[in-house]
Amino acid sequence: QLLGAYDFSISFFNSFLSSTVSNLVFIFMQFLVCSSLVFLLRDEFRVGFKKITENIKRIWIIPVFLVLDFGLQIVINNLISTNSTNQNGLEHLIQSSSPIGVMLLSILVVLVGPVVEEIIFQYFIQKLIVKNSLLNLGINKKLTITISILVATLLFMMFHMQTWSDITNLTFLGYSDLIFFAILYSARDDNLMYPIILHVCSNTIAFLSVLL
């Protein structure tokens, strides 16, 4: 996530700043974007968090979806080669970064990325653009939900691809587990907190697996 932007930005900043300062500047920019989006949707987050605390038992669905997420990845990895440029880029960044750089990268991948991505793809695209538009047109609710999930997921998958080779060698299928974020968002009444928590957990495990 955001690795293409990370590579481009760091290369730009490195032309006149040290590696550590470049990382700090980029992380600050990403935090600024993330903070702005969270502030913009502060009421959405407040209501979502309140709903979770009022019915904490409903979070059982998160570990279930986490297992489904990694289960699907295992199945796909056994069917086709899915050594994506996204993962290769993350491994390269970790290996070439200083300890401080790795720490900053972990913040970006584990926290900032999931929050920004879920806001963009689940809240704006899935809910506001696709779902609400189709409902306003009088489209059947079940069909609307299905279409909104598929559209958001396909765009999310495209966002994760860095080169066309991810399509030609079918590694883009390795991103198909992203559909679980969209399904969870819909299943929990468009509460952003659920896919964000799932995304954070998933990225944390993935980052640690590459790091270790």
Q: How is residue 74 written in tokens?
A: 């295992």
Predicted pLDDT at 73: 87
Predicted pLDDT at 198: 97
Of 3-7, 30-34, 101-105, give the range with the top mean pLDDT: 30-34
In eight-state DSSP terms, residue 212 is -
User: Quick check: 191 and 41 in contact, CB under 8 A?
Assistant: no
Q: Is the model's pLDDT at 33 over the cut of 80? A: yes
pLDDT higher at 1 or 179: 179
Predicted pLDDT at 69: 94
Report how far apart, in Å, the C-alpha atoms of 112 and of each of 54, 96, 121, 208, 210 are: 26, 21, 14, 16, 18
The proportion of the chain whose per-residue pLDDT surpasses 70, expressed as a percent, equals 80
pLDDT higher at 77 or 130: 130
Identify residue 60 by its one-letter amino acid code.
W
pLDDT higher at 106 or 178: 178
Q: How is residue 31 written in tokens?
A: 């935090």
Predicted pLDDT at 34: 94
Predicted pLDDT at 61: 97
Predicted pLDDT at 151: 98
Identify residue 57 by its one-letter amino acid code.
K
| Burial of 130: CB neighbours in 10 Å, binned 0-12, 13-18, 19+ | buried
- Print the domain residue range for 165: 3-211
Number of domains the chain is built from: 1
User: Which residue carries 């702005």 as its tokens?
Assistant: 36
Q: Is the model's pLDDT at 68 over the cut of 90? A: yes
Confidence of residue 8 (pLDDT cuts 50, 70, 90): very low
d(CA 38, CA 119): 8
Q: Is the model's pLDDT at 82 over the cut of 50? A: yes
pTM of the model: 0.86
User: Quick check: 109 and 207 in contact, CB under 8 A?
Assistant: yes
Q: How is residue 116 written in tokens?
A: 């920004």
